[in-house]
């Protein structure tokens, strides 16, 4: 047990002790009433002795209970507390999930999101973010350690992908509720302009790269992008894929790619991804998402240790003791007066 204000006890306890001694030793002088002569016989009776013993005992209880109540009150004012030190391991790593949400990518996006949930649950201090792109890039989750929120967003993406797959493969129809859920991974990524293009991979990757804070100035953190796309570019992006990959390599950001079995211009796409120090995985491997996660886990991380001290005060028991002592004091002091 530790005290926040120990000086309260240093000053208060001696004062209470002195007052208790003076109070117990004090005797009132005879002022009123009549003196009785030859009371020796009365004082020898059992009844008198019993009442005298009871009076002295109750007087002592009155003083002791008051002293204890004041002492416990001093302990409350001194604020007893317990301190507990907790050391948390924090991995110095940032991870962005970058999803191509064009119509040909829903199955890949679904598998990646499903498998990433366990990965996110196992994070310890790493920051995680999510972007989606088609002809424009939208940041769904900026880098954060709020893993519950990340999992909630992954659930919503997964649900939207399942609805889209059902419509495309099975000829299902959207009802109003499903349409709203599907729009979660569509809104903001397309402009419906004829020349806006689709799956602008270079733009999506470059936009995600510069979502990392201080990416140009701070190279102390490990940075990773998990890119899901089939490399089926339609349109004229501001940044070509090889240019975006060159920027990632320049700033030390590794790209791990998840793609369907059929990848447009596979060799060039693989070359661009591997130029960042990452790897390309396709659905032809039944363990694609797991393999990506393993590669991400292998990336070098510098571990930080954060020390937190938790202070807990516990005055409840002391308040209870004060209450009990005061109750005893008032009850017994009433008996003494009688």
Q: What are phi and psi of 279, to 5 degrees?
A: -140, 160
Residues 299 and 180 in one domain: yes
In a domain, 34, yes or no: no
pLDDT range class, residue 88, cuts 50, 70, 90? low
pLDDT range class, residue 81, cuts 50, 70, 90? confident
Residues 108 and 70 in one domain: no
Domain containing 48: what range?
Answer: 2-25+39-79+315-337
In a domain, 310, yes or no: no
Residues 252 and 114 in one domain: yes
pLDDT range class, residue 338, cuts 50, 70, 90? very low
At 249 the pLDDT is 93
Residues 95 and 71 in one domain: no
In a domain, 33, yes or no: no
In a domain, 184, yes or no: yes
Cα 234–chain centre separation: 42
CB atoms within 10 A of CB 64: 16
Residues 230 and 208 in one domain: yes
Residues 119 and 210 in one domain: yes
Cα three-residue angle 171-287-158, rounded to 5 degrees: 40
Residues 242 and 164 in one domain: yes
Please identify which residue in the block is written with the tokens 């940041």. 139
Q: What is the mean pLDDT of residues 4-31?
A: 73
In a domain, 31, yes or no: no
Nearest Cα to Cα of residue 166 among 248, 115, 83, 106: 106
Residues 94 and 113 in one domain: yes
In a domain, 32, yes or no: no
The number of distinct structural domains making up the chain is: 2
Residues 43 and 147 in one domain: no
Residues 321 and 298 in one domain: no
CATH of residue 292's domain is 3.40.50.410
pLDDT in tens, 155-169: 999 998 888 888 777
Of residues 336 and 296, which shows the higher confidence score?
A: 296
Threshold 0.75, pTM exceeds: no
At 224 the pLDDT is 93
Residues 113 and 247 in one domain: yes
Of residues 206 and 237, which shows the higher confidence score?
A: 206
What mean pLDDT, rounded, does the chain reach?
83
Residues 124 and 252 in one domain: yes
pLDDT in tens, 198-230: 778 899 999 999 999 888 887 778 899 999 888
């Amino acid at each position: 047990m530790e005290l926040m204000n120990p000086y309260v006890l240093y000053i208060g306890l001696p004062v209470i002790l002195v007052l208790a001694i003076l109070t117990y030793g004090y005797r009132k002088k005879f002022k009123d009433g009549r003196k009785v002569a030859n009371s020796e016989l009365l004082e020898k009776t059992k009844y008198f002795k019993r009442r005298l013993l009871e009076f002295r005992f109750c007087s002592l209880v009155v003083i002791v209970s008051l002293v204890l109540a004041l002492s416990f009150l001093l302990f409350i004012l001194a604020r007893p507390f317990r301190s507990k030190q907790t050391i948390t391991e924090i991995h110095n790593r940032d991870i962005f999930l970058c999803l191509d949400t064009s119509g040909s990518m829903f199955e890949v996006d679904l598998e990646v999101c499903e498998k990433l949930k366990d990965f996110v649950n196992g994070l310890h201090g790493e920051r995680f973010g999510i972007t989606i792109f088609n002809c424009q890039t939208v940041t769904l989750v900026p880098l954060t350690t709020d893993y519950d929120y990340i999992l909630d967003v992954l659930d919503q993406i997964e649900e939207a992908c399942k609805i889209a797959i059902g419509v495309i493969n099975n000829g299902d129809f959207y009802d109003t509720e499903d349409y709203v859920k599907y729009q979660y991974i569509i809104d903001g990524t397309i402009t419906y302009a004829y020349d806006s293009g689709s799956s602008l991979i270079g733009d999506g990757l470059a936009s995600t790269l510069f979502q990392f804070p201080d990416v140009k100035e701070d190279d102390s953190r490990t940075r990773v992008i998990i890119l899901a796309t089939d490399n089926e570019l339609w349109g004229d992006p501001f940044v070509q894929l090889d240019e975006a990959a060159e920027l990632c390599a320049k700033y030390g950001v590794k790209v791990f790619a998840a793609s369907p079995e059929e990848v447009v211009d596979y060799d060039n796409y693989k070359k661009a991804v591997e130029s960042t120090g990452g790897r390309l995985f396709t659905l032809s491997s039944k363990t694609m998402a797991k393999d990506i996660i393993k590669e991400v886990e292998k990336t070098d991380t510098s571990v930080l240790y954060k020390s937190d001290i938790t202070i807990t005060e516990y005055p409840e028991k002391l308040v209870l003791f004060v209450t009990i002592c005061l109750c005893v004091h008032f009850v017994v002091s009433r008996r003494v007066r009688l």
